[in-house]
Amino acid sequence: MTTLAQCIQHKQLLFVGGKGGVGKTTVASALAVGAAQAGRRALLISTDPAHSLADAFDRPIGAKPVTLQNNLTVLELDPDREVDAYLSRVLEQMRQYAGPDQLRELERHLNLSRQSPGAQEAALLERICTLIDTSYNEFDLLIFDTAPTGHTLRLLSLPELMAAWTDGLLRHNQRSEKLGQALKHLTPKRDIPSVLSDPTQDAQPDIPEKQQALIRTLVARQQLFRRTLRHLQDTQHTGFVFVLTPERLPIQETERAIKALTEARVPISAVVVNRVMPSHTQDAFWSERLAGQQLRLQNIHQRFSDLPLFLMPLQKTDVVGLEALENFAEELLAISA
Q: With 0-12 CB in 10 A as exposed, 13-18 as middle and 19+ as buried, what is 143?
A: buried
Q: What is the pLDDT of residue 193?
A: 38
The full set of domain ranges for the chain reads 4-80+126-158+240-334
Find out if CATH 3.40.50.300 is the number for domain 4-80+126-158+240-334.
Answer: yes
Distance from C-alpha of 242 to C-alpha of 252, rounded to nearest angstrom: 12
Q: Return the half-sphere exposure (C-beta side, CA atoms, 13 A cut-off) of residue 183.
A: 27
Q: What is the pLDDT of residue 181?
A: 53
Q: What is the pLDDT of residue 142?
A: 98
DSSP 336: B
Q: What is the pLDDT of residue 149?
A: 67
Q: Which stretches of the chain drop beneath a pLDDT of 70?
A: 149-151, 162-207
Q: What is the pLDDT of residue 282?
A: 76
